[in-house]
Copies of this chain bind each other. A is one copy, B any other.
Amino acid sequence: MCGIACQNAGMDIVSSKPSGVRARKRQETLERIAETGLRLFSRNGYEATTLDAIAEGAGISRRTFFHYFKSKEEILLDWQLRGFSASLRKAVLAQPAGKGPVEVVRDAMLILSDGFRTQEFISIDRVLRSSETLKARKQATYGLHEQALYATLMERWPDPDRGATLRLVAMASLGAMRLAIEAWIQAGGDRPVDSFLHAAFDGLASEFGKPS
């Protein structure tokens, strides 16, 4: 539960000093572990990378690792969550008024879609698809993103009666994004991500918009 987010909790609450050196070293160590882990995962595979190897590469003991990450998988979880949910929230709230929820989410995702092109994203996504356990974790992360997006949408349209439909919007939008990314990777990255994202939302509209 406590990845990168809460290592310096209390700083802003208690008036005691931020304790400069400690927080900085802790931050550095955290990043060093994550970096080392992701690098070894990409190079040698996830299963083949032992905690001992990560610990040694990061210059800490095996035991200390667990003071920074709850598990080996959490390195990947943390990476997935690090930026995306937060930036999606920002992009959603920055959308102009007058649009409906679906359009808002779609346009926000289109803005973020550049981030999927990076070598880091593609490389780590390959790791995420390399084993059943990790695929499960990846799916689960989409669940977390779904919750986060739902919360953001409720923040923007704070009508309790819309809760259920906003949940649906979050679910279907993130699903559309997931399928768009999958199709894009499948296609080898020729066409831009945007076009897949557009196609996905258009597809949803045409299939679910019909008179029932």
A contact residues vs B (CB 8 Å cutoff): 100-103, 106, 132, 135-137, 139-140, 142-143, 164-165, 167-169, 171-172, 175-176, 178-179, 183, 199-210, 212
Contact = CB atoms under 8 A, between A and B. Distances in A.
B212 A165 contact: no
Given A210-B209, A212-B103, A168 B176 contact: yes
B164 A183 contact: yes
A52 B143 CA distance: 32
A136 B42 CA distance: 22
Contacts of A165: 203, 206-207
A212 B207 contact: no
Interface of A is mostly: helix
What 5 pairs between A and B have smallest CB-CB spacing? Answer: A209-B209, A136-B140, A139-B139, A171-B175, A165-B203
A4 to B, nearest CB: 17
A91 to B, nearest CB: 18
A13 to B, nearest CB: 26
A183 B206 CA distance: 26
B137 A172 contact: no
Listed residue (A132, A136, A137, A178) with the most chain B CB atoms within 10 angstroms of its CB: A136
A101 B212 CA distance: 11
A165 B112 CA distance: 23
